[in-house]
Structure formats: C-alpha cells, structure tokens
Structure 1
Amino acid sequence: MNLEEVMASIINRLNPFWIIVFIFFTWASIEQLKYETSSKKGAREAMQTYYLGRFSIAVPALMKQKIRSSKLRYADIQEMEWPQSLNPEQARKAEWDRFMAEVKKLPPPDGKDRVIIKVHEFPAVGKWAKGIFYYNDSFDRHGARWSLLMDAGPVGLWLKTDDIVVEKEIEHSKTIPNYENIAKAFQPLDLHNLKGRQPGNRFYLEHGAINLPYAGQEESIARFEGHPLKLTLLIEMETDFTKEIETMSLIKGTRAMLAVALISPGGGISKIRLREREVAGMPGEEAVLRVREGQRKDLVFTWQFNGKDDSGEYPTTRIEMESPDGNLHEKLKIWDAVLDSMKPMFERKKS
C-alpha cells in the first residue's frame, strides 16, 4: 500500500466534522503565516535590549552599535575591554604608558616649564588606578585636564574632564574625590543577561554600571547602524543643571519647517505623523516626515522630550531614526517597537 492509499484509508475512518476542523485550522495557520511575512505587515523584528544611562531601550538585533559615549558628574567615561593577548596587569600598563607617551609629546603653554602638573595614585579604587593632571592645550596656560585610568577587572575605565581652571583645581581639589566616588561605584556587569530593574541608583554604561544617584550632570549617547532597510538610529539623553531647558516644542518647530518648505525651491517636506506621544513616562512629541532634496527622498523619524530642570529622572531626550524612502509601514513598526520598549531602570519618585 502506497502513501496515498494509506492517507485515503485514514481519512475514510475519520469523522467528517473533525476533517472540516482540521482543514479550517490548517488554512488559518497558512494565512497567518502569509500575513506575518507579507510586505503589508512586515516580518516580526527581533530586538535586542541596551542599557543606556538610567534607561533601557530595545533596538533591532540586526543593527550594530557604532558610537557610545557617557558622562556622569562632568566626567567623560570611556570603557575598554583588555586585549585577550595580555593579562590585566600588562594591559593596563601598556594603556597607561601609551597615554603618558602622548601627554609627554605635548608642548607646555607659554610661561610653563612642563606639561604634567600632578600624577595621583588612587590606592582604594578598583584593582589599580592612577590619574594625571596636565596642560592639554599649549595656548591655554590657565586650563588643564584630569584623566584617570582604572583597572576594573574585565574592563578598563577612563575618566576624563573637560578643561578646568588650574588655580581653582589646585586650591579646592574637587576632581580627585569626584573621581574616587565614580570609580568606586563602577561595577562590571553582563548586561546581556540582566533581568528587570536592579537595586540602587545605577547609571548604565556599555560593560557595566555606576551605582550613584543623579548629581548635576549626566549624558548618554548611542548610535546604531547596519539594518537591511538602511536605518540609522540615534539616542541622546542629557541633563545639566547649568543649561537652560529648550522651550521650543518639536511640534511647533516642525510646523514652522513645513511652512518654510512650501515656498522653498528644490526641496519638500511632507508630514506622516505629528503628535504628542509619551515614552518611558516622559510626555514628549513625535514627528515622522518624508523629506525630499533634489532627487533624494528620506524618511526622518523623531521623538523629543525637552526634559525637566536638574532631573536625572526626566532628562532631555531625543531619539532619531533615518532611512531612504520606502517600506514605510515596516519602518513605522520598527520605530514604534523602539519607542514602546524604552523603560526607566529606576522607580520614579511620586510628585
């Protein structure tokens, strides 16, 4: 008996009702599969969660992180994975020697006989830590920069300041205790296996977190590229108590831009979305535009929240996604998935 005869024999024994049910659910499953993968709906996008500052956000897994920068309490923070070819002691020595060689190449400012102002060791920080205060600009005899390298085990951590006034730093020595607090609070983490909110006041980097509450200034920036739909995604969050909050709303600014575009030759902007939209508990605004310049057409997705004064819980936040025109429905689904995924990694204080 061949396969067809076996199947016919089985079907003859079945109740016609169950045959109809089987056929119906088989058809429904096929139609659902067609719908899930059709160009009308777009295939389901696999997402990967990243931890950025005090928030988490999911990004299409096909995209790769190309830029990552963080600032906390006016320290520019840079992580580095130690080379596998060296043990941590060798790796940190090689990195420190490389940096010192660059510093020693700098000419001192006029009236100064040396570049290095001070070298300071931090014995109570990490496995090893050392900092240097030096003139980084030969045309500025009043400004200098602190840089600290810490061995945190699996990663190294650089903390660097912007230019600071030498006389004030020598008199008050504010940077050394600030660096000690930041470095001591850093903990390497396996962020790929992190689940839910963690205890404390964590500010997330790429390879770990600093467990300190907000104090005056924070910044997190990440850029992602590499999607088959030629997407780029930029996420920026900043709080600085010395800066005034932007008062121009995204909606008003976009409306003004649309009005100008109507009378501008060679270009054009059309609105796809322009509305208020809450993301991660922050009442922001969203704009999705089609922008034409010459023969080129692009889709520009923007969400913006202007922030609250001196608040780490409500930072000034801007999320942008851009791509060439086309596949609008699929790109809107990715955009919505990104925005809907963003969550605070802390419990907000009740106002």
Structure 2
Amino acid sequence: MHFREVEWTAANGYKQAWSDWLRKLAERRLPVGARELLIEQRDIAPRCHGVLAHDSEDDVNQKTWFALLDAGTHGVWMECAQDPQVPEQALSRLEMVAHSYRSFELRATPPPEGWFYLERGAVTLPPLGVEQVLVQFEEVPLDLRMELGSRPAAEADPEGGLMHRLQRALALGLHGAREVTVVRTGPRQVAGFEGEELIILVKEGSEERLTWGWEYPGLAGDPCAPCIELTMHSTARERTVKARLWDETLESVRHLLPVSRVDWMEPL
C-alpha cells in the first residue's frame, strides 16, 4: 500500500490530475493476453475515484488499484497491488484509507491511537502490519557504522534489556573463542526516554572491535513511545574520538511530535 500527497495548483486540480493520469496510463503498452488496460472503475469514497489496471507490460496477472482522493487544498494518490490469492483485499484497503484520511486543515478529532502522519494529513486506522524504521549511517575514514531503529513496543520483552541479553548469550557460549569485555553499562536518558546503554569490546585474536548500544523498550500501545534502538559498530582504533561521537549523537537526539497535534485534539 502506497500513498502520497500532492498540492493542487488550480481550482480544478482534482479533475485535472485525474485526467492527466488516465492519459498517461493509456500510453502504456498492453500486456500479452489482456484486452484493455483498465479493468474496473469505481467511486471508492466521496471525492475519491479509483481504477483497477494492468501494472506490467510483461505480466498480465500483475494488477493494481489506483485512486486519487480530493482532500480540499490537496490530493492523496493511493495504490495497492492486487494479490491474485485474495483479490478483494487491495480494494478493501484503499476504501479504509480513503474513508479514514483526515486533512490537518479540517481540524478533525482523530481516534486516540493508531495515527499515521503524512505531511498534510493523517490516516487514523489501526495499522494492518507492524511499522518499523531503520536508518543506517556510515563514516568510512573511521570505519564506523551507526544504526537507528524504531518499532512498536511489545507488551513485554521476553529477552530483557541489553545487559540481560548479553549475559544470556555469554552463558550459552554464543561468543565462541572471542573475548567480550563490558566497557560501560547502565541507565541513560536520551531525548527524555529512560533507556539502557551498553558498550562492549570484542577481541578475537589480534583484532578488537567496539559496539555501542542504547535501547528504550517503549510503552505498549502508545504510538508516541515506540521501542528505540541505537547502535554503533567500529574497530577499536581512535577509541576516544568514537566515544565522543557516540555521546554527542545521543545528546543530539530530539523527540518531536507533529506540529498540528494540538489542533487535532481540539473539537470541531
């Protein structure tokens, strides 16, 4: 399921955008075995029209629902590939998103949970899948890799915190012949979140590598308090420089909420 917002540049922006898209669609080559590109058209929601079309010039079985929602000052393009095993699912998802989308300009009051924010509005349905984020940074001269991950918090973490998981791995002998030394461990607050920090040195033969880690377990059911994990991996050389970079990174993290959050909580 994909959707993106577009700003209208004219009073008839919705009609113009839809007409332009249909014209571009008509220019596609028809896949072998198909009679026409457009398979079905229908109104998905008020001010939202959609079509089911062939989405591949090579595979006649690849079909996708496309839709455009008129949200007033802007529009929302949506598309969802049709699964041959459950063909009705794609249209059902489009209908749910189209009916639940709320523009910030409407100052609508959303349900208390399940918000998924876009630039100009939000979808307020519970997610159909687990939303996860992973961002990776690399610093070549220092041979350093940093990863920031976020996912919904679980009701309970069966693995415990960072130190607990390390102790369990060592007890099971998962480290093999490598020598593992805890450099620093303990609670650490980052951006207002009370998390746990763990820094370890792993030595294998003549090679030494450092791993920095910080984790916040999150609050189950709270979309504004997900589980957050920040890790950094590198060789042990220039350890002081890397330790300073790690501390500066944690100190620079900020917890930001959507600017329009207050407006959303106000009644119409």
| Alpha-carbon separation, structure 1, partners of 2:185 and 2:168 | 12
Give the Cα–Cα distance (whole angstroms) in 2 for the partners of residues 269 and 106 of structure 1: 60
Q: What amino acid is the match of 1:328?
A: R
- The residue aligned with 2:142 is 229
**Matched residues in 1 for 2:188 and 2:244: separation?**
15
- State the TM-score, normalizing by the size of structure 2: 0.58
CA contact (8 A) 2:66 2:77 kept: no
Which residue in 2 is equivalent to 1:316?
227
Structure 1 residues 46-125: aligned runs within 5 Å: 75=1, 118=40, 124=47
The correspondence for 1:219, drawn from 113, 132, 142, is 132
> 1:270 and 1:101, CA in 2 relative to 1: closer, same or farther beyond 3 A?
farther
CA distance in 2, matches of 1:148, 1:230: 46
The equivalences for 1:134-149 within 5 A come to none
Mark the runs of 5 or more structure 2 residues left unpaired by the alignment. 6-16, 106-113, 263-268
Return 5+ residue gaps in structure 1 as ranges: 1-74, 80-88, 188-200
Query: 1 CA distance for matches of 2:206 and 2:4?
Result: 40
**2:245 corresponds to 1:334:** yes
Partner SS state of residue 254, structure 1: helix
Deviation of the 1:318 alpha carbon: 1.3
Q: Deviations over 1:24-79 (max 9, x none)?
A: xxxxxxxxxxxxxxxxxxxxxxxxxxxxxxxxxxxxxxxxxxxxxxxxxxx55689
C-alpha RMSD of matched pairs (Å): 5.1
**Which structure carries more relative contact order (alpha carbon 8 Å, separation 6+)?**
1
Contact 2:38 2:51 in 1 (8 A): no
Structure 1 SS opposite 2:245? helix
Instruction: Tell me by how many angstroms 1:178 deviates.
Output: 0.9
Give, as a single letter, the amino acid of the residue that structure 2 aligns with 1:311: D
Q: Say whether 1:178 aligns with 2:94.
A: no
Residue 252 of structure 1 aligns to which amino acid in structure 2?
H
Match for residue 167 of structure 2?
A: 255
Aligned-residue offset at 1:120:
6.0
**Counterparts in 2 of 1:263 and 1:121: CA distance versus 1, 3 Å:** closer
Pick the structure with greater CA Rg: 1
Cα gap change, 1:339 to 1:186, in 2 (>3 Å):
farther
The alignment of Structure 1 onto Structure 2 pairs a total of residues equal to: 227
Q: Which residue of 2 aligns with 1:166?
A: 87
Q: Indicate how the Cα distance of structure 1 residues 223 and 147 shifts in structure 2: closer, same or farther if over 3 A, else same.
A: farther
Counterpart of 2:185?
A: 274
Matched to 1:166, the amino acid is: P
Shift of residue 312, structure 1, vs aligned partner: 0.7
Q: Secondary structure at the match of 2:152?
A: strand
Indicate conservation of the 8 Å contact 2:135/2:147, yes or no: yes
Indicate how the Cα distance of structure 1 residues 227 and 244 shifts in structure 2: closer, same or farther if over 3 A, else same: same
Whether contact under 8 Å (1:131, 1:149) holds in the other structure is: no
